[in-house]
A = this chain, B = another copy of it.
Amino acid sequence: MIIVMVPHAAEDSIERVVKEIERMGAQAHLSRGQFRTIIGAVGEEGNIDQNHLATLDGVEKVVPIMKPYKLASREFHEEDSVIEIGGGSVPKVKVGGPHAMCIAGPCAVENREMLFKIARHVRDGGATVLRGGAFKPRTSPYSFQGHGETALKWMRECGDELGMPICTEVMDTRQVELIERYTDSFQIGARNMQNFDLLREVGKTRKPVLLKRGLAATVKDWLLSAEYILSQGNRGVILCERGIKTFEDSIRYTLDVTSIPVARQWSHLPMIVDPSHAAGKRDYVAALALAGMAAGAHGIIVEVHYCPSEAQCDGPQALLPETFKEMMGQLRQVAAIYKREFTDAGVLV
């Protein structure tokens, strides 16, 4: 940690800072310039209270050097992590390192029939994990909020029948236990990325968690949220970039593919992209999925519907089954550049 003093800081301010650093069990190294003194605090950065140092007299700013997360960092775990979703009644699907993964399905589970129909389409197109919302986060209290446990049951049946592990969103700490009984993996939505109690609760389970990036979260914030889950003992965190909020208003969100090489360098966790929610419009979904994979992602999560005009939510962004299948072919070509392979869904059943 580096402590930058104000220009011409008083000698006793400097001494106080040095003393405080030593009190915290670290060593202080002084660099005295013509105008300013810079103090390096060397030791276990976790033991040095940045906040406290920042409030001392004569301190202009404190610059931390080490990353504030540990379990999520590549310094802690050098190799790419490979996470497995599924097992038991369904095959295991791998993601991370050389393993690419496609999660697909409807936005919300509207009824049993449509779910099975879409699931068959996406499995046929190359998806190996089935998505579908039972509890839906909606910006308006007057919008459709999901079918809850009934939808979870359909998801479980459908996954078992088709041999696909399932993934569904959890929004409330009180739902964790219920959803855990049915699902193979949790999804935490962008708006809950810093719902710290929820992160802790899913961290206590042993099912993988797809952690979407918050709309205003930096890569650092995102990895700190991953750290919440990891620190509870659950090592199955999959990062998911789904678009950030910017000034651009021609599209719903800006899919930040730039974050992919950064997060991949800082962390060993697998990373996928959600092109559907960024695009908000079917026409743009394939371009964004391809861009995400080309930037280094390990896969995608995408919404598909055979009849978007009947969808109860987010119809305009759902891909048609045939477009989905075509896109999967293109994604395989991009994955090959990174020597990654999508598991063949055919093997699973």
Contacts and interface: CB of A to CB of B under 8 A. Distances in A.
Interface of A: 2, 4, 7, 29-36, 38, 40, 42-44, 46, 51-52, 54-56, 63, 65-66, 68-69, 75, 137-142, 171-174, 191-192, 194-198, 200, 214-216, 218-221, 224-225, 227-228, 231, 243-251, 253-262, 265-266, 278-279, 283-284, 287-288, 290-296, 308-309, 311, 313-316, 330, 333-334, 336-337
A23 to B, nearest CB: 13
B257 A248 contact: no
A316 B250 contact: no
9 contacts: A31-B40, A52-B315, A191-B214, A192-B194, A254-B256, A257-B257, A258-B284, A265-B284, A291-B295
Top 9 closest A-B pairs, CB basis?
Answer: A294-B294, A31-B40, A216-B216, A191-B194, A29-B31, A216-B245, A291-B295, A172-B197, A290-B294
**Among A140, A172, A194, A248, which residue has the most Cβ atoms of chain B within 10 A?**
A248
Contact of A51 (B173, B259, B316): B316
A63 B4 CA distance: 11
B293 A294 contact: yes
Nearest to A145: B196
Oligomeric state, in number of copies?
4
Given A138-B196, A258-B288, A249 B51 contact: no
A340 to B, nearest CB: 13
Given A259-B250, A330-B337, A221 B139 contact: yes
A65 B51 contact: no
B191 A171 contact: no
Contact of A139 (B32, B34, B224, B262): B224
B315 A218 contact: no
Contacts of A257: 255, 257, 287-288, 291
Nearest to A315: B55
Contact of A287 (B42, B173, B261, B308): B261
A261 B288 contact: yes
B36 A247 contact: no
**Among A4, A258, A262, A313, which residue has the most Cβ atoms of chain B within 10 A?**
A258
A171 to B, nearest CB: 6
Given A139-B221, A294-B290, A38 B2 contact: yes
Contacts of A225: 139
Contacts of A258: 243, 248, 251, 253-255, 278-279, 284, 288
B196 A137 contact: yes
Contacts of A333: 333-334, 336-337
A38 B42 CA distance: 9
A196 B171 CA distance: 8
A174 B171 contact: no
B195 A55 contact: no
A334 B38 CA distance: 39
